[in-house]
Structure 1
C-alpha cells in the first residue's frame, strides 16, 4: 500500500492553472510518475488529459442539468439538485489512452492512475465509475515486476479549491470503500532524478516446435513467449555502470548520465531448454540492438534503476511487436506496401508474424519499428516507435495528441537506433545447413520460382547431406586402402 504521494509542484500547479482558466466542468486524465517500492511512496511527474474520442466527444462530462462549475455563480439551483450531480466517463477510451501512453514511457515511468477535475458533490456521487475507470487503466497499462494491487486517484476540486489523493483498490468487488485517502504533497521531484542509459544487443533463436504447428499458434505468439522467456534471463544479468562491475547494491551514485552494460549468464537459454525434449521444425531468429533509458530517484538503490532499465528493454520489444500486430489488425485486408521488407507479406496479405507455421512455405523477414526519443520534462525523455515508412511527423502528432505537449522540434529528437531489430524465419534444415542455399543453385532457383516448398527443400537438403556423408565414407575407405598398400610395399622392400 502506498502511504505517501509527492507531486512535481511545477507541473501540477501548471495543470491547476490551465484547468481553472478553462470552462470545462470536468476532466479526466492520467497520472504519470514512478512507484518506489522500497519506500512505499509514489512520485507524480505530470498529469496528462485524455483527448476527445474519435467522435470528438470529451472522455468525461457531468450529467446535463445536474450541477456543474457555474452553479455557485448562477445560484439558481437548489442545493439538493447540485448534490445529485454525477460524472459520465468513457472508461474504455481512458483505458486505451493509458495503453498508448504506456508505450511512450521509459524505464521507471509508469501510468500510476487517473486524476479527475470536478466539484466535490459530483466526485462523491461517482465513486463506482471512478474505481471502474482506475481498474480499466490498470489492466490496459499493467505494472510489471510488482504486486501493487492499487492505483492512485487524485481529485482536483474547484468548489472548494483543493487537492486530495486516494488509493483505489483493484479488487473485483468495487464498492464505495474501495478508495482510501493517503498523504499528498507537492515538491521538487524531477530535479532529483538520475539517468541511466544502455544499448543492449541481443540475438535470440526461438525454436518452432511441432506443437506450435498442430495448435495453430501464430508466429507473434511464439515471439511474445520468447521475449517473456528472455526477460527471465535478463533479470539475472550482471551490470557494469560507467565501466565498473556492480558487486553490491549501492544506495546512490553521483549526478549525471550513467552508462550501463549487461552481462548475460554464459550458455544459458531457458527457452531452448524448455523445447529440448520436443520436435523442432523451424527457428525464428530475432536480433538487433535496443537503446534504453531509465530514471531513478537519488534515494533509491542502484538495483532498482537496473531493474527499471531491464524492464524498459523488454517493454520496448513487446511494444514494437504490439505496433506491428495493431497495424496488421487494422489493415488485414490491405496489400499496400508500407515500407516493410519485400518478403514480409505473403499471399494472405498479412505480415508473417500473424500467420501460423503451417502456412509458411518460404523464408521470411521483418524489420521491426525503430525507437526514437523525445525531450519531455526537466531533461527527461519519452519515446515512440516508428515503422520504416513513417517520418518524425508521426512522432509529433503522437506527442500532441497523447501527451498533450507542444510538437517537438525535429532537431531535438534522438534517433540512436540506426539499424532497428529484425526477425527472420527459417526451417530447421535452413538453420542447421545454411550452406545448402548458397552451394546448391538448383535449390535456390526452384525456391525463388515458388516450385519448391519448404518440405521439398527439406527433402533435397536431406539428400544432399546423405550424399556428402557417403562421399566422405568412400574417401576414408580409399585412404585406408592406400595406406595399407604403401605399408605393404615398404615392408616387402625391407625384407628383400
Structure 2
C-alpha cells in the first residue's frame, strides 16, 4: 500500500511551468515512475501529456467550454462561480490507455506507467464523478499490466491552477475509492542506481500435433513459451559485479553495476515422443536489460526488475511484430505462402497454424535501441528491419513529447545480436539429423564447411593424380633404360 509519494522536482516544476504558460484549461497525461511495495512509497519521475486523438481532439476537455477560461482567469479573486458555470471533465480513457500502453514498451526495468495526472481547475475536478476518474485509471492499469502481482494500486495527481496547488491520490484498481496520500517533491533521478545485464536466451518450444488448432497458432505458441521461460527466469540466481547476490544486500557504490543471471538446470524436463510433436519453434537472441533502483531499496529488487525487463522486452517485441504484420496483412500473407510452400492468403501471422508448416519460416524480431532520456537515465524503442532511426525519433516526439531532438550518435545498440530470429521448422528435419533447418546460423556455417570440404576434396584428387602421373613416368623411364642400355657381362 502506497502511503506517500515523492516527485522529481525538476520535471514536475517544468511541467507546471509549461502548463501555466499555455492557454489550455484541461490536460490529461500519464505518470512514469515506480511503486515500491518494500518502501510503501511511490516515485514519480515525469509527467507525459497524452497526444491528441487521431481526429485531432484533445484526450481531456470540459463538458461545457463556456466559463472554463473565465474560471481560470478569475481564480479565487473572481468571486464564487455559479453552479451553471462549473463544467465537469470529459476524458477519453481508451485513448489515454493506448498512449500508456505504447509508452510502457519504452520504459526499462524499475520504471513503469503508475497512473495519470489531470490539469484543471479545482471546481471542474470536483464536478467530475469519481467513477469516471477510477474507470480511466482502471483501463490504464489494464493496458499496462505489472508482472508483480502485489502492485494493485495506481496514482492520480491533480494539478490545480485555481487555486494553484498539487494533490495526489491513490486508487486501488479493483475499486473506485480515491484515497489521499502525502505528496512532496525532491531530487530523485540523480540518486538512481543503474544495473545492466546482457542476457542470451535460446528457447525451444515444441509444437504438439494433438492440440486444438486455435492453440497451435504462432501467437499462442510463442506467448506460452515466453510465459514458461518467465517462470524459469524467476528462479535464476544473480552475480553482481562478479559476486553472488545475497538476501537484503544493499549497494552504495555509484556507477553502472553489471549483473549476470544463472539459470538452474532443468531436472524435470518432459520427455515427449516424436509422434506427439509436429515441429519446433526456436526463439533465440540476446537482450541488453537495464534496471534503475532507489538507494533505499535492496539489491534483490534490482534483480527482480532486470528479470521483468527481460520478459517485458520479449513480449513487447512480439506485440510490435504482430501489430506490424496486421497492418500489412496481404504482403505478409504472400511472404508466408512463399516461405511455407503453401497458400495462406488472407490469414494473418498470429493465426498461422505452426503444425501445418512444411518448410522453415524465419522471422526477425525488432531490435532494442537505448535512448538518452532524463539525467543519466535511458529509455528504449524497437526498430523493425524496415525502419530507421528517424522513425524512432518521430515516436519519441509523439509519445514522450521530447522537445530536444535526439542525436543519432547518442543512440546505443548494445545487444550482441541485432535481431532475435524465430523459426518454425519441420520436426522431421530435426530428427533426421538436419539441424541446419532450424538454425539459420548453423545453415550458413554448414554451407561454409561444405564448401571447405569440397575444396579440400578437390585438392586431394588433384594431388593424387599428379602423384600417379609421376609414378607412371618413372616406370616408363626405368623400362626404357633397361631396353636400350643392357647391362655388361662380367668376365
- TM norm structure 1: 0.82
Residue 185 of structure 2 corresponds to 186
Residue 384 of structure 1 corresponds to 381
Residue 451 of structure 2 corresponds to none
- The structure having more radius of gyration, on CA atoms, is 2
SS of residue matched to 1:39: coil
Residue 33 of structure 2 corresponds to 33
Determine the C-alpha separation between the residues in 2 that align with 1:168 and 1:382.
27
Give the unaligned 5+ runs of structure 2.
438-442, 444-491
Q: Does 1:343 align with 2:342?
A: no
Structure 1 residue aligned with 2:407, among 382, 406, 409? 409
Which sits farther off after the overlay, 155-164 or 402-411? 402-411
Residue 46 of structure 1 corresponds to 46
Please show how residues 50-449 of structure 1 align to structure 2 within 5 Å: 50-71=50-71, 73=73, 78-82=81-85, 84-126=86-128, 127-171=130-174, 174=176, 178-215=177-214, 217-268=216-267, 273=270, 279-335=276-332, 343=339, 347-348=343-344, 352-406=349-403, 407-417=405-415, 418-435=417-434
Q: 1:160 to 1:277 in 2, by over 3 A?
A: farther
Number of residue pairs aligned between Structure 1 and Structure 2: 431
Q: Deviations over 1:345-388 (max 9, x none)?
A: 96435664540124423211111110000000110000001101
Shift of 1:180: 0.9
Q: 1:152 to 1:437 in 2, by over 3 A?
A: closer
Contact 1:219 1:354 in 2 (8 A): yes
Determine the C-alpha separation between the residues in 2 that align with 1:224 and 1:354.
13
Determine the C-alpha separation between the residues in 2 that align with 1:341 and 1:380.
44
Q: 1:404 to 1:342 in 2, by over 3 A?
A: farther
Residue 490 of structure 1 corresponds to none
Determine the C-alpha separation between the residues in 2 that align with 1:192 and 1:180.
28
Shift of 1:248: 3.6
Determine the C-alpha separation between the residues in 1 that align with 2:73 and 2:216.
61
Determine the C-alpha separation between the residues in 2 that align with 1:436 and 1:314.
27
Shift of 1:227: 0.5
SS of residue matched to 2:142: helix
- TM norm structure 2: 0.82
Q: Deviations over 1:462-481 (max 9, x none)?
A: xxxxxxxxxxxxxxxxxxxx
Q: 1:114 to 1:437 in 2, by over 3 A?
A: closer
Determine the C-alpha separation between the residues in 2 that align with 1:356 and 1:380.
41
